[in-house]
């Protein structure tokens, strides 16, 4: 039992590391988007884009068996961090 639990926890740790790497990559991309928008005088916040993206991610989450509210909460927090940079 202990070995099985340890193996599962190790897998969770690997998934967590992958999530961190993906979040870091997303923040890099968001910074690049901000630079492009700034160069072209485009608004940083586009409510329609955010709403569309969240609706898509909710549908994708549901299809994967992930609670849609969970992905929306996570993405809203990530976006809030992105806007503050």
Q: Where are the domains of the chain?
A: 1-42, 45-85
Look at residue 27 in the predicted model and tell me its pLDDT: 94
The list of the chain residues with pLDDT below 70 reads none
* Burial call 25-54: b when 16+ CB within 10 Å, e when fewer: eeeeebeeeeeeeeeeeeeeeeeeeeeeeb
What pLDDT, on a 0 to 100 scale, did the predictor assign at position 83?
Answer: 81
Do 72 and 59 meet the contact criterion of CB atoms below 8 Å apart?
no
Q: Residue 27: name the closest of 73, 85, 74 by CA.
A: 85
Q: What is the pLDDT of residue 2?
A: 95
pTM of this structure: 0.86
């Amino acid at each position: 039992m202990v070995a099985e639990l340890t193996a599962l926890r190790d897998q969770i740790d690997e998934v967590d590391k992958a999530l961190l790497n993906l979040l870091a990559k997303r923040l890099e991309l968001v910074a690049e988007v901000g630079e492009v928008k700034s160069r072209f005088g485009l608004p940083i916040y586009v409510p329609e884009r955010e709403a569309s993206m969240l609706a898509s991610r909710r549908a994708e989450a549901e299809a994967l068996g992930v609670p849609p509210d969970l992905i929306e909460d996570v993405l809203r927090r990530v976006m809030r961090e992105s806007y503050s940079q």
